[in-house]
Structure 1
Amino acid sequence: MIRNYLKIAWRNLLKNKTFGAINLFGLVTGLTTCLLIFLYVNDELSYDRYHEKADRIYRIDNELKFAGNYFDLAVGPPQMGQVFKASFPEIENYTRLRWKGTVLLKKDGQVRPVDRVAYADSTLFNIFDFKFLSGNPATALNEPNALVLNETQALKFFNSTNIVGQSFVTDRKTYKITGVIEDMPKQSHFDFDVFVPMADDEDSKATTWLSQNYNTYIAVRKDANLAVLQSKMFKLNHEKLALELKAVINQTLEDMLKSGGAANISLMPLTDIHLKSNKIGELNGNGNPDNVYIFSVIGFLILLLASFNYTNLSTAVATNRAKEVGMRKVMGSTKLSIVAQFLSESLALSFIALFVSYALLFVLLPSFNELANKSLSFQQILQPRLILSSLLLMLVLSLFSGAYPAFFISSFVPSQVLKGKISKGFKSGWFRNSLVVFQFSITIILLVGTIIIYRQLAFIKQKDLGYNREQLLTLHNIGSLGDKAVSFKDELLNISGVEAASMSGFLPVNFNRSSNTFLNNPTGSLEGSVSMQNWTIDEDYIPTLGIKLLKGRNFSKAFSTDTTAVILNEVAAKKFGGDAILGQKIYTLNGIENKEMISYTVIGIVKNFNFSSLREEVTPLSFLYGKDRGSITLKVSSQNLPGLISQIESKWKARIPEQALNYSFMDEDFNRQYESDRKTGKIATSFSALAILIASLGLLGLVLYAVELRTKEIGIRKVLGASIQNVYALLTREFLVLVIVAMVVAFPAAYYLMQRWLKDFAYRIDIEWWVFVAAGVFTISIALLTVSFQAIKAATMNPVKSLKSE
């Protein structure tokens, strides 16, 4: 029987090629989109789950609040892990990580920068599972100046992974390679190329509890009670802070808490970090949980749209199969067997669609990886979990999309069907109209969302940030020049096309940051203190970046006292009382452990500028005068950039011939900060196009159904004198009403959803009325294009053909 069902299904598919092709295209589009999103979501949810102890690893996070300052931190004091492990038997082990920055490794006379380098405790490989290709994980980070490389770096430098015992020599020290690990999986919340021993970091030996610089992870025992452990950690943390606050600033913890302060400890599960953590001190750019939710919903909705298309189109061709159903019933077929026949057709079409979708996955995966900034592999397409999910999805889809047509068609009354009549219930189009309204509502929401995303990105690109990022060329790794850095900067100013130059590693578009707490009194009281970014710059920094000086003056070589001077931005100045702070002193500790206060005189106030993401408000910032050899920023003319860069490279090679010049343009560095948002915009555009296409197919199905149902009516109207325009208006009017209803439903929903998305940005656009008008006009245009062909075809049909007796 099943074989017979499938044979009839195949014959009907061949007989109705147009409807079959449209149905197949819709289902393939929906399934392919859904499977791609499944791969994306599965990848996002799999971060850090490859570690054997993943369910027992936690990061210790800190929340601090005092004197109006608030910090939600992914880092903690240097000795926190060691103290907690020694105090609480529930903790099996701990390890720490800290960014080291760029290391210049020298091999065969060539110096190459390695950017992703971290200090790590020797217990790193006891807690996290990284496969060693050579070396001993138990001892790899025990020795000072040891180096553990990943496979990519080992092959780049040595063309081999069997290199334990080899050395790198730099200007400062010699590193000995003690291990090579496989490249870390992309599904990790940190991704380093090189690890060096934590013992090499002098700051890691500090016993202070007020310094927050280390990502600390603990592995708890299987029988540990987390609530009890966290409570004990909270208590000990308060005890440590209380002792240090009293010793350093002569303030008790109780006083700080009574004044609205807070000092909280929390345990962040390792597997939650990627999607649920966005704190100060993260080791990588974590994912956005909103994207996971949004893409999941969109994938489901697109699949739903495709399913609705099948329902609409199956209903549209029902009249062509009415006599078939009538004859089957007369010959003794039961309603159940007819339902089974139509469901088997749906199942067969879904199976073909799934097969085609899998073929498309292999074709589209590279493009999708580029679009979504992923590295999904072909092996992931063939994983049993995805295949089983796909088969289940196909079964549910075929039942869902085929159920209504199957039960609807099987309900035809044989006597009426064989007389050429169809039951009155067939004229009731509320269900099919509801499907079209739903389809176009989703389409309009996606259209509005796409427009707003691109407008926000354009706003970011064009916004006045308070500094000039155009025509600024940044030269990196200037520390390699040592004491020659200043003379190199002066030499660059002699090149035609270089208008200004500044040397500082602190830039609005990189992640080099340093914070400090300044006090308005020398007593150490936290009352009136301000925690802020604290950047070291030279006298050329402000004019080179085009930052506006509002009050006072810039740093100058002419003033020897500027080594103890400070320039504040508007936010910082306001916290200290506004313009009145100009010429006054503010204070900071010269190291927490020696408790010495240093005073700085405020000599200037600069206009606020966005030195972080536009998702965040401008926060307090201070400039100190000094030498920071992180990078040199050049203001250049655009007349002959290739020639200018060539001259700069020539002067660099004259000083460091073994090291390539590493440079970037500041506007490109700025744009990279919003790469994920641009990817989201592109994905939204793609989804919108698919939704429009699928919704148009659904509308086409309803048009075909209406024309089929009203063929005789159209013929009679034409005989009675109706013009082509009259018939066209008759057929298009009701569909335009459906689109207008969809707009009424979609506009409030789109407004609400995009307001939520925009809330992530501290600086954002307003959602204007014309966005909805544009989306509505575009949707109506698409609907008219879809309807017009069939409406005109029906309107120009010879009435003799439509009125002849059957």
Structure 2
Amino acid sequence: MFKNYIKTAYRNLKKNKAFTIINVLGLALGLCVCLLIVLYVVDEFGYDKYNTKLDRVYRVNDNIKFGGMNKQFAQSPAPLAAAFTANFPEIEATARFRQWGSYKVRKGDQNVHENHVIFADSTLFDVFTLPMLFGDPKTALREPHSVVITESIARKYFNQEDVVGKALLLNDSINYKVTGVIKDIPKQSHFHFDFFLAMSDLQESKDDSWLNNNFNTYLLLKPGTNLKTLENKFEPLIRKGAGGQLQGAIRMDYDAFVRAGNFYKLNLVALKDIHLHSNVVGELDGNSSIQYVYIFLAIAAFILIVACINFMNLSTARSANRAREVGVRKVLGSLRKYLVAQFLSESIIVTFFAAVIALSGAWLLLPYFNEISGKVITITQDTLLWLLPLSLLSVIVIGCIAGSYPAFFLSAFKPVDVLKGKLSSGFKAGFLRSFLVVFQFGTSIFLIIGTMIIYNQLKFIQNKDLGFDRNHVVTIKNTDDLPNANVLKDELMTITGVKNASLSGFTPTGGWRNSTTYFTNEMRDTKNALSTQSWVVDENYIPTMNMHIIEGRNFEKGRLADSSSLIINEAAVKQLGFKDPVGQDLFVIVDSKGENQKRMHIIGVVKDFNFNSLRDNVTPVVLSMGYSTGQLSVLVNSNDMAGLINKLKQRWHSFAPNAAFEYSFMDDEFDATYRTEQRMGQLFISFTTMAIVIACLGLFGLAAYAAEQRTKEIGIRKVLGANVSTIVGMLSKDFIKLVIIAIVIAAPLAWLSMQQWLKGFAYRDNIKWWVIAVAGFGAIIIAFLTISIQSIKAALANPVKSLKNE
């Protein structure tokens, strides 16, 4: 019986080749997009799952409100880990990370800058699953000047992996003994480091300061620990640890600190949730967002539904062609359930061939998909173990879903009506079919509008005045390698094409960030305290960045008083409440115990500039004059950029012959902040194109069958004098009406959804009316062109051929 279903289905599909090709291609495109999205989603949910204790590992986050600042940090105080271990038996182990920038590592006679370097506790391997190839994980990081490296680094510096006992020279000063080699950390991890330095080398790790949050602290909880109960115990510990230090720093105890409207809270974030659910200050790597996962899953569902709708529409539109077959089968005694099984078999066969094409297409498109999504997804043997069964299950499920309505619709025909010819207008029965066409094009229009709004927002961001010049600034890295970086700066300023240069580790597009609290009086009144970023810059910083002083003056070289001077931005002025800020004094604590403070004098106000993402409003920042290395920002004006870069490189090597010359353009660093949105925009364009193609395939098929059903009507109209344009209009108007209905429904939904997305940006472009108009008009044009291909063909046919049988 089943063999007969397959044979009959194959003959029917082969007989109607055009229908079969359209259905297979439509489903294949839909399944291909869904498969790529499934691979993306599986990759996103796979982060940190290499840890065998995943469900028991948590990170400590700090949530602090003070001095006008209310922020959450992925970092916590140095003594917190030891205090947790001593006070809470629910905690099995703790481990801390402390980032300290890049390090120079000697390789032959060259120094190589390594950015993936971090200090780690010796308990690191108790918390995280980092398989050690060589060495003992229990003792690897206990000794001072010890380092654990990855297998790639071992091969890079020693050309072999078993390098335990060998030494690495870091920063030209310290020999670190390699005590362990671990496997390379998987791509799906929320941190990626190649060098783990012993925490005992870091004096800061032994400090008892509860007010400095610089350590990423992780906990391994014992099985069965109640998370909420444990978190409720944190407040007394904070009160005990930070209370006395608050008294010294701001001259108020913990209770007074809370009564003033401030707070200092700790909360735990599950390791498995960090990648998709955490985006706070101090993350160890760039995380993703669960919102994008949901968006892509919704797109996958919509595109698959659109593809299934194609199958339903085309199958039911062919009802007149299959009606006599159904009638004859029923007269000969075939039961309805067998007819349903027959049509479902056809649907499953179509879906199977579509799935084969989709798998092949996904495999071919995967490199392109990886490029625009920023992923490194590969189809491995492990992937196939779940992908092939899932694909087989999808074939059955989608085949049954897509073929269910046509199967029950066609099998319900009454033999008497069929044989009397009452179903000759099979295409015209169609509220459900009309609804499905509206849904198809509504989805496509929704995606078109969303894509255009995302594109406009990214263009708005790229063209926005940020308050500084990012387009003409070259950033030279690693200037802290140089013993005389200021001399290099002066040398570079003599090069033709260099307008200015500034030496500072603080730049608007990234780099080091430092937070400091300033007070408006010596009594450290917290009501007017300003907790803000504090950047150390030189006298050339503001002109190099093309920032604008709107009150007061800039720093001056050689002016000793400027070592105690400040320049603040407009946001800081607003928060401090100063009407005339120039000449005002601020006080800052200069020791860890809070016993000493320094008076600082405001000499200028700089116009607000964006140094965070444009998702956020400009926050206060304070500039002080001093010596800060790390980066050399060079303002350039040259038509021969390659030649100028070469000159900068030559000067660099004259000062540091053994150090690599590394540079970037500030506009590229700015664009990197929005790389996620740019990738999402590219993916939206790709998915939208797929959705439109699938919808057009379905519309093309429907138009073909509509023309086929009205062949004789078209012939009669032509004999009576109708021209081509009249016939094309007649065949097109019903479809165009459905597209217009789709626009009316989809446009408001798209507008509301994208308004919600734009709320994530403090600086955003308004949705233009023409975006909706262009999307709607574009959808009408696309639909009309698709329909016209068949309509014109039908209108140009010789009427004699369609009427000779009458």
Q: TM-score range by the shorter chain?
A: over 0.9
Q: Distance in 1 between matches of 2:324 and 2:803?
A: 19
Q: Distance in 1 between matches of 2:356 and 2:105?
A: 50
Q: Distance in 2 between matches of 1:389 and 1:554?
A: 65
Q: Distance in 1 between matches of 2:101 and 2:566?
A: 26
Residue equivalent to 1:364: 365
Residue equivalent to 1:515: 515
Residue equivalent to 2:643: 643
SS of the aligned residue for 1:527 comes to helix
Residue equivalent to 1:703: 703
Query: Is the contact between residue 416 and residue 423 of structure 1 (CA under 8 Å) also seen in structure 2?
Result: no
Q: Distance in 2 between matches of 1:281 and 1:373?
A: 22
Between 1:561-570 and 1:247-256, the stretch displaced more is: 247-256
Q: Distance in 1 between matches of 2:434 and 2:243?
A: 68
Residue equivalent to 2:235: 234
Q: Which runs of 5+ in 1 are unaligned?
A: none
- The aligned runs of 1:212-223 (5 Å cut-off) are 212-223=213-224
Q: What per-residue deviation string (whole Å, max 9, x for no partner) do you get for residues 546-579 of structure 1?
A: 0101111111123101111111011012222234
Q: Distance in 2 between matches of 1:367 and 1:615?
A: 29
Q: Distance in 1 between matches of 2:472 and 2:506?
A: 18
Query: Is the contact between residue 361 and residue 381 of structure 1 (CA under 8 Å) also seen in structure 2?
Result: no
Residue equivalent to 2:437: 436
- Aligned partner of 1:137: which letter? P
Residue equivalent to 1:751: 751
- Aligned partner of 1:728: which letter? V
Residue equivalent to 1:490: 490
Residue equivalent to 1:254: 255
- Aligned partner of 1:378: which letter? I
SS of the aligned residue for 1:685 comes to helix
Between 1:350-359 and 1:609-618, the stretch displaced more is: 350-359
Q: What per-residue deviation string (whole Å, max 9, x for no partner) do you get for residues 457-511 of structure 1?
A: 11111111000011211110111112x1111111112222222111001111124
Q: Distance in 2 between matches of 1:244 and 1:594?
A: 8
Residue equivalent to 1:303: 304
Q: Distance in 2 between matches of 1:338 and 1:330?
A: 12
Q: CA deviation at 1:290?
A: 1.3
Q: CA deviation at 1:423?
A: 7.1
Residue equivalent to 2:355: 354
Q: CA deviation at 1:66?
A: 2.7
Query: Is the contact between residue 9 and residue 344 of structure 1 (CA under 8 Å) also seen in structure 2?
Result: yes
Query: Is the contact between residue 453 and residue 681 of structure 1 (CA under 8 Å) also seen in structure 2?
Result: yes
Q: Distance in 2 between matches of 1:390 and 1:525?
A: 66
Residue equivalent to 2:610: 610
Q: Distance in 1 between matches of 2:292 and 2:442?
A: 20
Q: CA deviation at 1:785?
A: 0.4
Q: CA deviation at 1:246?
A: 2.5
Q: Distance in 2 between matches of 1:522 and 1:110?
A: 50
Residue equivalent to 1:149: 149
Query: Is the contact between residue 146 and residue 198 of structure 2 (CA under 8 Å) also seen in structure 1?
Result: yes
- The aligned runs of 1:257-296 (5 Å cut-off) are 257-296=258-297
Q: Distance in 2 between matches of 1:334 and 1:804?
A: 37
Q: Distance in 2 between matches of 1:474 and 1:285?
A: 22
- Aligned partner of 2:600: which letter? Y
Query: Is the contact between residue 249 and residue 589 of structure 2 (CA under 8 Å) also seen in structure 1?
Result: no
Residue equivalent to 2:529: 529
Q: What per-residue deviation string (whole Å, max 9, x for no partner) do you get for residues 223-281 of structure 1?
A: 21222111112332233233322333221322332332222221111101111111111
Between 1:723-732 and 1:752-761, the stretch displaced more is: 723-732
Query: Is the contact between residue 707 and residue 794 of structure 1 (CA under 8 Å) also seen in structure 2?
Result: yes
Query: Is the contact between residue 412 and residue 423 of structure 1 (CA under 8 Å) also seen in structure 2?
Result: no
Q: Distance in 2 between matches of 1:261 and 1:387?
A: 55
Between 1:297-306 and 1:222-231, the stretch displaced more is: 222-231
Q: Distance in 2 between matches of 1:656 and 1:726?
A: 79
Q: Distance in 1 between matches of 2:529 and 2:317?
A: 73
Q: Distance in 2 between matches of 1:107 and 1:388?
A: 49
Q: What per-residue deviation string (whole Å, max 9, x for no partner) do you get for residues 664-720 of structure 1?
A: 111111111111111101000000100110111121232123223333333333344
- The aligned runs of 1:564-579 (5 Å cut-off) are 564-579=564-579
SS of the aligned residue for 1:739 comes to helix
Q: What per-residue deviation string (whole Å, max 9, x for no partner) do you get for residues 134-158 of structure 1?
A: 2222222112222222222222222
SS of the aligned residue for 2:461 comes to helix
Q: What per-residue deviation string (whole Å, max 9, x for no partner) do you get for residues 578-632 of structure 1?
A: 3422111101111332521111111111000001111111110011111111111
Between 1:276-285 and 1:593-602, the stretch displaced more is: 593-602
Q: CA deviation at 1:727?
A: 2.0
Q: Distance in 2 between matches of 1:248 and 1:672?
A: 38
Q: Which runs of 5+ in 2 are unaligned?
A: none
Residue equivalent to 2:387: 386
SS of the aligned residue for 2:205 comes to helix
SS of the aligned residue for 1:583 comes to coil
Residue equivalent to 2:475: 474
Q: Distance in 2 between matches of 1:660 and 1:69?
A: 39
Q: Percent identity?
A: 45
Q: Distance in 1 between matches of 2:259 and 2:659?
A: 56
Q: Distance in 1 between matches of 2:731 and 2:437?
A: 15
- Aligned partner of 1:248: which letter? A
TM-score (norm 2): 0.97
Q: Distance in 2 between matches of 1:295 and 1:22?
A: 25
Query: Is the contact between residue 238 and residue 263 of structure 1 (CA under 8 Å) also seen in structure 2?
Result: no
Q: What per-residue deviation string (whole Å, max 9, x for no partner) do you get for residues 314-366 of structure 1?
A: 12222222222222112111111011001001111111111222222221111
Q: Distance in 1 between matches of 2:793 and 2:357?
A: 32
Query: Is the contact between residue 474 and residue 666 of structure 1 (CA under 8 Å) also seen in structure 2?
Result: yes
- The aligned runs of 1:327-476 (5 Å cut-off) are 327-379=328-380, 382-422=383-423, 427-476=428-477
Residue equivalent to 1:197: 198
Q: Distance in 1 between matches of 2:588 and 2:792?
A: 80
Residue equivalent to 2:781: 781
Q: CA deviation at 1:67?
A: 4.3
Residue equivalent to 1:82: 82
Residue equivalent to 1:187: 188
Q: CA deviation at 1:113?
A: 0.2
- Aligned partner of 2:173: which letter? R
Query: Is the contact between residue 308 and residue 435 of structure 1 (CA under 8 Å) also seen in structure 2?
Result: yes
Q: CA deviation at 1:764?
A: 0.7
Query: Is the contact between residue 322 and residue 417 of structure 1 (CA under 8 Å) also seen in structure 2?
Result: yes
Q: CA deviation at 1:663?
A: 0.9
- Aligned partner of 2:212: which letter? S
- Aligned partner of 1:75: which letter? Q
Q: CA deviation at 1:197?
A: 1.5
TM-score (norm 1): 0.97
Q: Distance in 1 between matches of 2:225 and 2:479?
A: 49
Q: What per-residue deviation string (whole Å, max 9, x for no partner) do you get for residues 97-122 of structure 1?
A: 12111000012111110012111111
Between 1:499-508 and 1:572-581, the stretch displaced more is: 572-581
Query: Is the contact between residue 315 and residue 705 of structure 1 (CA under 8 Å) also seen in structure 2?
Result: no
Q: Pairwise CA RMSD of aligned residues? A: 1.6
User: How many equivalent pairs are there?
Assistant: 805
Q: CA deviation at 1:658?
A: 1.8
Q: CA deviation at 1:380?
A: 6.5
Q: What per-residue deviation string (whole Å, max 9, x for no partner) do you get for residues 172-212 of structure 1?
A: 32222222222211111111121112222222211111111
Query: Is the contact between residue 316 and residue 704 of structure 1 (CA under 8 Å) also seen in structure 2?
Result: no
Query: Is the contact between residue 457 and residue 678 of structure 1 (CA under 8 Å) also seen in structure 2?
Result: yes
- Aligned partner of 1:336: which letter? K
Q: CA deviation at 1:424?
A: 7.2
Q: Distance in 1 between matches of 2:702 and 2:505?
A: 63
Residue equivalent to 1:16: 16
Residue equivalent to 1:175: 176
Q: CA deviation at 1:804?
A: 4.2
Residue equivalent to 1:47: 47
Q: Distance in 2 between matches of 1:211 and 1:525?
A: 20
Q: Distance in 2 between matches of 1:25 and 1:60?
A: 50
Q: Distance in 2 between matches of 1:64 and 1:513?
A: 17
- Aligned partner of 1:779: which letter? A
Q: What per-residue deviation string (whole Å, max 9, x for no partner) do you get for residues 23-58 of structure 1?
A: 110111111111110110111111112101110001
SS of the aligned residue for 1:396 comes to helix
Q: Distance in 1 between matches of 2:295 and 2:769?
A: 24
- Aligned partner of 1:303: which letter? L
Q: Distance in 2 between matches of 1:66 and 1:485?
A: 37
Q: Distance in 2 between matches of 1:320 and 1:71?
A: 67
Between 1:714-723 and 1:446-455, the stretch displaced more is: 714-723
